[in-house]
């Protein structure tokens, strides 16, 4: 069994390392087993939820610029 590592970045998104399946609040299912690095929004400001789109960075939190998701 593969262990997934979840790291809450400093004032930024959750960094998910390892193959994962993500289900958003609306029940949409994202099979991300081919991706080894995913950033999930933690600030609520992303336009591509549940993934970070870098909006956190523009809010001065020092977040991340790249979109990481499907």
Largest CA distance in the chain: 38
Closer residue to ligand FES, CB minimum distance, 38 or 46: 46
Using the rule CB under 6 A, is 69 a contact of ligand FES? no
Quick one: 3 or 51, whose CB is closer to ligand FES?
51
Binding track over 15-54 against ligand FES, x by CB under 6 A: --------------------------xxx-xx-----xx-
Write the DSSP assignment of 4-64 as a string of letters.
PEEEE-TTSPEEEES-EEEE-TT--EEEETT-SEEEE-SSS--TTTTB--SHHIIIII---
By CB under 6 A, residue 13 contacts ligand FES: yes
- For 68, the 3-state DSSP assignment is coil
Binding site for ligand FES (CB under 6 A): 12-13, 41-43, 45-46, 52-53, 55-56, 63
């Amino acid at each position: 069994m593969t262990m997934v590592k979840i790291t809450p970045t400093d004032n930024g998104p959750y960094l998910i390392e390892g193959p994962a399946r993500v289900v958003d609040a609306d029940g949409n299912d994202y099979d991300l087993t081919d991706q080894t690095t995913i950033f999930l929004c933690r600030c609520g400001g992303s336009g591509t939820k549940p993934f970070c789109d870098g909006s956190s960075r523009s809010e001065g939190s020092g977040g991340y610029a790249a979109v990481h998701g499907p």
